[in-house]
Structure 1
Amino acid sequence: MLPNGNEVWALARHVLIRAMLTDPRFSSDRRNPGFPLLVERRQVTNFRASLIGMDPPEHGPARRAVVGEFTVKRMAALRPRIQEIVDEHLNALLAGPKPADLVQALSLPVPSLVICELLGVPYADHEFFQTRSSMLLRRTTQPEDRARAIDELRDYLAALIGRKETEPGDDLLTRQLSKTTDREELVSLAFLLLIAGHETTANMISLGTVALLEHPEALAALRDDPERIPDAIEELLRYFTIAEFATSRVAVEDVELGGVLIRKGEGVIALGNTANRDPDAFSHADDLDLERGARHHIAFGFGAHQCLGQNLARMELQIVFDTLFRRVPGLRLAAPSGELPYKDDATVYGLYELPVTW
């Protein structure tokens, strides 16, 4: 049951969620009255649909217009700059006091700076957009505060895009200006990429660091053989599955799924965390096996709406974990993991703080 009292279907099995996410009879359009929203509908209906909320035929062309910005080749070209950003922040961490908060020292600023440079957003404004995005992702935020945060971010991005029309840069938003005349659509795209581009990766850096520190033998193996890190990242993504609700849908026709009839207009929430622990899809699914390397998890979604920035996220995580544990081999938690402030009240799971020492 949703916070507004509406009942929706919940899918937990891995195979059923993948089937649902590739079935055109399920819509991503958040403006549909039956869509299972966790916020008040008025906060969605006044917002232009972005990629995450588009259906065919609009979705395909809109995604193709931007997907070239996130190819493996283009991400590889960003690797030296991301390495430089990580090294700069680790230099500051090691020169600073102990203990330190790894969220503020590394987890949050690295992906924030990367996505800012990619989009062409001034990093000097990071406190502004990080504060607003945190409000949007916290389930306990009051409706009026969430609406104000949305409006402020939209106004900020609209003004930024307006400036790029006369002062173009070498960035994603400038390049998108030449591909669309719909400025509202571009604002919605910028809104999505800015929030998703730093919040998700930041939380995975923090959670992944805790998990690796709590598995010292596996961490030692990664230090000895960094080629194992990509498999470890896939397992961390599966194990935590920090963002579930992007895969919610609403049926636009009657659909039988798993022997159950889902009627037109009924909402469906895909429980990605549960699906990524499905024993039919993953052996010993509740165990963190850093050598598993299973890429059929749905931490990035599945189908046409699979996460646009997954190549970027994987690369950032690989660079961060490789560099962090190589340069700070004595890193350890400065508080018991069970006492850390986890984001149990947010739609994207993670940590508010991560005290570490070395």
Structure 2
Amino acid sequence: MPRPTSAAATTAATKTWYWSTTPRQQRHHEVDDTIDTVNATLTSSLAAGGNEDGATVTYTVTLDNAPTTEETFTFDVNGEQQTITVAANELTGSTNFTFNDPDVFLDDNVISAPTNFSGSDNSGYEDLVLVNNATSHEVDDTIDTVNATLTSSLVAGGNEDGATVTYTVTLDNAPTTEETFTFDVNGEQQTITVAANELTGSTNFTFNDPDVFLDDNVISAPTNFSGSDNSGYEDLVLVNNATSHEVDDTIDTVNATLTSSLAAGGNEDGATVTYTVTLDNAPTTEETFTFDVNGEQQTITVAANELTGSTNFTFNDPDVFLDDNVISAPTNFSGSDNRLRRPGTGQQRHVPRSR
């Protein structure tokens, strides 16, 4: 069709045509995005019935609006990183943290409040706000018993002149710091130290009681057993399994020696002999010795804590005949050996002899 020469209409016989020189325009409009906040809230819950031997905390992240794709959240508990995933189109995700710290000490068992809470925001939230509402949780301490057992052992070969008993304290669990234990043996306090991280400690007790008496030499069973508990055991129980120990008595000889002395100047009209008993060791109680002279019994007493005792025998046989005037040697010499215990020990043993 021929181009019109103006904006006027070109008329045909059956149709009118119009031509516009003004172009037609299309337009778009940007709409402001409102900034809506979505909270990702972290909470925690301690499962009932747990203790230091095993406790569980469940951590949950809850979103106000479900993500369009998977979101990952991380945080730290007791120095360990934890991870929670919230799936696309879900509002929550959870994970469990297990606490396990069995021990024998009184301590604070705490699952710390989460730190370093962060999220991925893969969905492109307008304003994702991380809210950490999780708390710390205290875990019950189980009470475990630790025995501190005292035992004793007599070293072979000892006797009253020297005997040794070794005392040992054994712990079921090693202490975290030095522990001191005390007890009494024969009235004397003994001390055992168990070093940190060790299970045992020992000490020696030396018995020495040389004497000439038959007695019971006993190292008594320990008494007043006590311990320091510096480490703070949950339940420290002192068990005294140490016993008394009998120590062999050495057999020492004590001579009771009878001697005689004729007084000068005597004759058949009157003569005196002094008889004396001498002990190597003084008795603890009075001792009596007897012997016969010329058919007559004589008696000598040695007092307690003395070494000697004496008696006099008088001879008298005046006559006008030439004869042998003899005071016979003593016979049948014997001693009492009263076997009365001296303080703390026992009896004396005599071996009578005359000369």
The TM-score, its normalising length taken from structure 1, stands at: 0.19
More helix by share: 1
User: For the pair shown, which has the larger CA radius of gyration, 1 or 2?
Assistant: 2
Higher relative CO (Cα under 8 Å, sequence separation at least 6) belongs to 1
The TM-score, its normalising length taken from structure 2, stands at: 0.19
